[in-house]
Chain A
Amino acid sequence: MRNKGQVRLMQGNEACAEGAIAAGVRFFAGYPITPSNEIANIMSQRLPQVGGKFIQMEDEIGSLGAAIGASLTGVKAMDATSGPGFSLKTENLGLAVMIETPLVLVNVQRVGPSIGMATSPAQGDVMQARYGSHGDYAIIALAPSSVQEMFDLTIKAVDLSERFRVPVILLADQVVGHMREKVVLPSYEEVKTAYRPEPTVPPEEYVPYRGDERGIPPMAKFGTPYHWYANSSAHREDSFQATSDYAVSEKLIHRLTDKIEQNKKEIVEMRGECLDDAEIVVLAYGCTARSARGAVIKARKEGIKAGFLRPIVLWPVADEEISGVADTARAIVVPEMNLGQYAHPVREAVCGRAKVFSLPKVGGLPLSSHEILEKIREVQRDG
């Protein structure tokens, strides 16, 4: 029934779960936490219907650990959580990065710090998503702005995680997770996602951590003649320990980071409106992008040359595309439901070519288009 293309009214978390099914996710491990619960609830019902598997683990750490284990056997795997759970998962997120395990981790952001406010939205985990686990590494994070994107970007997250052998974070928020909107669902048979690169050499020639020209190594399924060692310690290309071998460790860290950062052209995605002559650009993502777009349309009606830029991929940063708007714009306003986290990479990207104004808001109330419009007017007047 759900396999035919159709239009439906769906909740964001439901769209995320359906996107996962459409993308070929066949393993989900979770732990209850608001406001992401519906994803696990739906996956527990849907996965066995399609021959997949669902498990509720004993804690947040365990659920990401189980998803990692499943992915190693060749299954597309996923986990979903929110702020406090995301903090716990940063340990295993580092493991997934280190052993280059494809998986999708959804974080339906809520107000922090600590337990914060379970049922109210925030965008406070933007920096944590990128830098939360210890050490240097890179991940991919996507920010959906609508229920449709909860479906579409879950599919994109699966695809990117498999292509780059990296955990991909769907950095949603309570607004897009819980609201209901129209969704156009494709026929699931038509949804295509990548599958991780596999070894093409005989088992005895397999070098588990030797990257291809882009730095991505082929991944053998567990349980095949390709014996390999998914090693959380610093390791050589042959997967054995690199104890005290600093050059090997240095090369590994660079490869893990470069395979994302150096290939960002294949990853980043932006939406822009009214940018051709824009003098003031509002850059927003996630739920805040909805009111930001409204503010730009209103500003245009007032004769202000405002433009709208929405990064769909937050990490890696689309720095060239962001910098590009500074060709016409003298100011970039960054409204976000945190104390100015994404304003930092935006400032770095434009490198002084335009003034960057942070418009922060915390505590659980979304930014309204009126608040953003006020900021545009202020920048028009004073900036």
Chain B
Amino acid sequence: MAEHATLSDHVNRYFYTHQFPTMWCPGCGNGTAAMAMCRALENLGLDIDKVIHVAGIGCAAVAHWYTTFTALQTAHGRALASATGIKFADPELTVLVTMGDGDCAAIGGNHFIHACRRNIDLTAIIYNNFNYGMTGGQVGPTTPLAAITSTAPYGNPEPPFDMCKLAEAAGATYVARGAVYYVQELISLIERGIKHKGFAVIDVLTPCVTVFGRRNKLGSPGEMFKAQKKTTVSVEKAKKMSPEVLEGKLLRGVLVEREAPEFTEEYDRIIAKAQGKG
């Protein structure tokens, strides 16, 4: 079905075109990430009435302004908490959560690690642009050491989180990293994350040209997209590379994929037990 759909069929099915143009800056990678999520849903053939799009606040958390799914915009950082309530109350729903790196890893960090630990069947898509784009490019928990931001004008004195390592350590059962330059790969990573039974995290590297790129002299949008060829390497290729060559590069692809008891299914067993059927 997917291969026969035209681009405009796809756009109209998944996006409110009357909301276009998007608020994203020219050259921003977020539109690619949002499109990749919808392509993944299309490939899976899911009933979009049963898809819920949850978001916090920030440049990433406006994707739901444009998607046609039933959506919830929470307070800043709280998307995963409410998404947990939605999924737990109605496990039939496919719940997708889009968050920026600040939304997810800073103010929402506690909800993030516990959602990972709980292994509830949500798909968390982190639009990781290394800074707070919407508020003018402040330093965040994923900003590289020494990078310049509006609140780190002399360079960031703090080391960043690797979101994938954080997710893995906290117990997420599917962890992947994609980059908007590698869009087909990104679609398949999200698709696999949605299919995965358990908490799935997809860390999506997306250039913030206007505030992060400009301050750090990373070049034009095209240059920032292309730079992902140098700053990232696929898990498969990395296997054949020496640690020296891999130094400073982020791995792309599926980093963790394992089976573990899923929270809502575990709770079904609790209900059976409480009712004397377990």
Q: Which residues of A contact B (CB under 8 A)?
A: 27, 29, 45, 48-49, 51, 53, 55, 57-59, 61-63, 65-75, 77, 91-92, 94-95, 99, 222-233, 240-241
Contacts and interface: CB of A to CB of B under 8 A. Distances in A.
Contact of B85 (A59, A65, A99, A231): A65
Contact of A65 (B19, B64, B68, B78): B78
B93 A92 contact: no
A168 to B, nearest CB: 18
B177 interface: no
A227 B275 contact: no
Most buried by A among B83, B85, B111, B275: B85
B72 interface: yes
A75 B89 CA distance: 7
B84 A231 contact: no
B274 to A, nearest CB: 4
B82 A68 contact: yes
Nearest to A208: B70
Given A95-B78, A229-B73, 4 more contacts: A58-B113, A65-B111, A68-B82, A69-B86
B88 A70 contact: yes
Contacts of A240: 16, 19, 65
A59 B70 contact: no
A55 B275 contact: no
Contacts of B237: none
B275 A68 contact: no
Contacts of A224: 49, 70
B73 A69 contact: no
Contacts of B111: 58, 62, 65
B85 A241 contact: no
A233 B73 contact: yes
B84 to A, nearest CB: 5
Interface residues of B, number: 40
B271 interface: yes
Given A223-B49, A228-B70, A229-B70, A73 B273 contact: no
Contact of A241 (B65, B82, B87): B65
A281 to B, nearest CB: 42
A74 B92 CA distance: 13
B75 A91 contact: yes
Contacts of A59: 110
Contacts of A67: 85
Nearest to B112: A58
Contact of B89 (A27, A48, A227, A233): A27
Interface of B, secondary structure class, is helix
A222 B82 contact: no
A218 B63 CA distance: 25
Interface of A, secondary structure class, is mixed
A71 to B, nearest CB: 8
Interface of B: 16, 19, 49-50, 52, 54, 57, 64-65, 68-75, 78, 81-90, 92-93, 110-111, 113-114, 267, 270-271, 273-275
Contacts of B83: 69
Contacts of B93: 73, 222-223
A48 B271 contact: yes
Given A69-B81, A232-B74, A222 B86 contact: yes
A72 B88 contact: no
Given A65-B81, A66-B81, A73-B93, A55 B74 contact: no
Most buried by A among B81, B84, B90: B81
Contacts of B114: 57-58, 62
14 contacts: A49-B275, A51-B275, A53-B267, A57-B84, A59-B110, A61-B78, A65-B78, A66-B88, A69-B83, A69-B84, A69-B87, A75-B90, A229-B70, A232-B75
Contacts of A58: 81, 110-111, 113-114
A185 B75 CA distance: 39
B215 to A, nearest CB: 26
B81 A70 contact: no
B70 A227 contact: yes
A244 B62 CA distance: 16
Contacts of B275: 48-49, 51
B72 A230 contact: yes
Given A55-B88, A58-B114, A232-B75, A65 B82 contact: yes
B82 A66 contact: yes
Nearest to A75: B89
Most buried by B among A49, A53, A74: A53
B66 to A, nearest CB: 10
Nearest to B273: A48
Given A55-B84, A58-B110, A68-B82, A231 B73 contact: yes
A68 B68 CA distance: 21
A320 B54 CA distance: 43
A53 B81 contact: no
A223 B74 contact: no
B271 A51 contact: yes
A73 B78 CA distance: 17
A229 B71 CA distance: 5
B73 A72 contact: no
A240 B20 CA distance: 12
Contact of A73 (B69, B90, B274): B90
Contacts of B90: 73-75, 222-223
A203 B273 CA distance: 39
Contacts of A45: 274
A230 B85 CA distance: 14
* 7 closest A-B pairs by CB: A69-B85, A65-B81, A66-B85, A48-B274, A70-B89, A69-B82, A58-B114
